[in-house]
């Protein structure tokens, strides 16, 4: 347009010599912007004393993005259409930047027009593809996916809040976790039934003829004590036999107290850890064991079951697959095993191995009895 600093004045002077038919907006070579027109009267610019004020600069509407026949045809695939939409959006956004913030209403209108056109084109394509495949039209899902990739979002066009880096990391981690879980599920399905599934099925087959079923207990290290507490609750003896708060911690305290009171029954079966023989001998090791029973999430086993049967004066029956039933405190077994506490022992329930669940009776309707 001339030397630096004289672009606008040179343009005005050149316009004054044009005829009235040249008064319309001048399209730039790039096709993305319209130069302002100068209003004239009989070939002479009005208000020549102040040329900058005499020129009415009107932002013409940005031209719609032109799509050539080579870009848009009836044989266009979905992928080609999405790529074309992306190219059009790129050109459109550049054009919108040149209109400036003062033309916000026009920009929003043009944004909506191109977004609606893209949506209509995608919908038409999905409908055609569905008809060609002679299958139910699932274009709604695919259309939503395409619009997610191509639409003008408010956060992009209006400077809205963007996801934080922490949120992006959480989203990425969640996606990876979902992918991992799906992969594990596929691998397990390909491998067939696991040892856990086989054991659970066999246990159900063992208990069903007896009118019994498994009641799951959390695997948190307290499973044996939780199962005993659940059994006491089912029989209505929880408050009678346990100290407040009548929970699995009270069951742990009951077992530890009985073991401390009868060390000869349990101390020979407590293995010493390395170095404990030099730190107080078997007595110190036994006391440390009892403290772990009472105050930690240490797993319980046969020793603790024996202590609980004696401390509670209750018969405890333990069912497991491939082994006869284990009875602790059989001298406390009532007629028809009324008042007995029933547990089941699983070897393959979780990755860490052994686990105890509660066993409950099954009502006539198939539901498990519970308080």
The proportion of the chain whose per-residue pLDDT surpasses 70, expressed as a percent, equals: 64
- pLDDT > 70? residue 28: no
Mean of pLDDT values over 246-270 = 94
pLDDT value at position 97? 80
Report pLDDT for 63.
Answer: 45
Residue 149: the pLDDT is 54
Q: How confident is residue 72, by pLDDT bands cut at 50, 70 and 90?
A: low
Q: Are strands 341-350 and 44-45 parallel, antiparallel or unpaired?
A: unpaired
Residue 38 has pLDDT above 50, yes or no: no
Task: Evaluate if residue 60 carries a pLDDT over 60.
Answer: no
Classify strands 316-319 and 341-350 as parallel, antiparallel or unpaired.
parallel
298 pLDDT more than 50: yes
d(CA 346, CA 369): 22
Q: How far apart are CA 333 and CA 316, in angstroms?
A: 8
- pLDDT at position 138, please? 52
- 27-31, 164-168, 219-223: least confidently modelled range: 27-31
What phi-psi label fits residue 353: left (phi over 0), alpha (psi between -120 and 50 degrees) or beta? left
- Mean pLDDT calculated for residue range 231-258: 87
Confidence grade of residue 82 (pLDDT, cut at 50, 70, 90): confident
Label residue 150 by pLDDT band (50, 70, 90). Answer: low
What's the burial of 12, exposed, middle or buried (CB within 10 Å: 0-12/13-18/19+)? middle
Does residue 24 surpass a pLDDT of 90? no
Residue 280: per-residue pLDDT? 73
- Measured distance CA(38)–CA(55) in Å, rounded: 5
Give the confidence band of 308 by pLDDT, cuts at 50, 70, 90: very high
Which is higher by pLDDT, 309 or 108?
309
pLDDT band at 216 (very low <50, low <70, confident <90, very high): very high
pLDDT at 49 over 50: no
Classify residue 8 as exposed, middle or buried by CB count within 10 Å of its CB (0-12, 13-18, 19+).
Answer: middle
Q: Indicate the average pLDDT of the chain.
A: 74
The beta-carbon contacts of 45-49 under 8 Å, at least 24 apart in sequence, are 45/12, 45/15, 45/16
Q: What is the pTM of this model?
A: 0.47
Phi, psi angles (nearest 5°) of residue 251: -65, -45
Q: Give the confidence band of 45 by pLDDT, cuts at 50, 70, 90.
A: very low
Which residues partner with 27 through β-bridges? 34
- Kindly state the average pLDDT of the residues 98-104: 75
pLDDT at 98: 78
For residue 358, pLDDT over 90 is answered with yes
Q: What is the pLDDT of residue 362?
A: 86
- Mean pLDDT (whole number) for 336-352: 82
Least confident of 24-33, 101-110, 203-212: 24-33
Q: Which residues are catalytic?
A: 220, 223, 355
Exposure b/e, 189-198, CB count within 10 A at least 16 = b = eeeeeeeeee
């Amino acid at each position: 347009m001339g030397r630096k600093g004289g672009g606008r004045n040179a343009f005005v002077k050149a316009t004054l010599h044009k005829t009235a038919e040249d008064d319309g907006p001048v399209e730039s070579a790039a096709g993305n912007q319209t130069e302002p027109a100068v209003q004239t009267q009989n070939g002479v610019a009005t208000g020549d004393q102040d040329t900058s004020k005499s020129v009415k600069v009107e932002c013409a509407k940005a031209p719609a993005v032109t799509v050539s026949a080579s870009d848009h045809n009836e044989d266009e695939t979905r992928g080609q259409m999405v790529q074309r939409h992306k190219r059009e959006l790129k050109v459109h956004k550049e054009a919108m930047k040149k209109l400036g913030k003062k033309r916000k209403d026009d920009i929003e209108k043009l944004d909506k027009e191109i977004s609606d056109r893209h949506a209509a084109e995608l919908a038409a394509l999905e409908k055609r593809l569905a008809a060609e495949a002679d299958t139910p039209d699932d274009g709604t899902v695919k259309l939503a996916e395409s619009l997610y990739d191509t639409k003008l979002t408010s956060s992009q066009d209006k400077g809205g809040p963007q996801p934080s880096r922490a949120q992006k990391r959480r989203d990425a981690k969640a996606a990876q976790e979902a992918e991992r879980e799906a992969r594990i599920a596929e691998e397990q399905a390909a491998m067939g039934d696991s040892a856990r599934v086989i054991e659970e099925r066999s246990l159900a087959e063992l208990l069903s003829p007896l009118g019994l079923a498994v009641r799951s207990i959390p695997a948190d290290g307290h499973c044996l004590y939780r199962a005993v507490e659940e059994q006491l609750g089912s029989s209505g003896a929880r408050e009678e036999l346990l100290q407040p708060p009548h929970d699995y911690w009270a069951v742990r305290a009951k077992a530890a107290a009985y073991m401390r009171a009868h060390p000869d029954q349990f101390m020979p079966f407590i293995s010493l850890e390395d170095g404990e023989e030099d730190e107080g001998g078997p007595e110190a090791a036994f006391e440390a064991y009892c403290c772990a029973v009472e105050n930690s999430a240490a797993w319980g086993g046969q020793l603790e079951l024996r202590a609980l049967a004696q401390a509670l004066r209750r018969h405890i029956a333990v069912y497991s697959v491939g082994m006869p039933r284990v009875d602790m405190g059989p001298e406390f077994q009532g007629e028809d095993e009324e008042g007995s506490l029933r547990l089941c022992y699983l070897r393959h329930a979780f990755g860490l191995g052994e686990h105890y669940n509660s066993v409950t009776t099954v009502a006539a309707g198939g539901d498990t009895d519970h308080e």
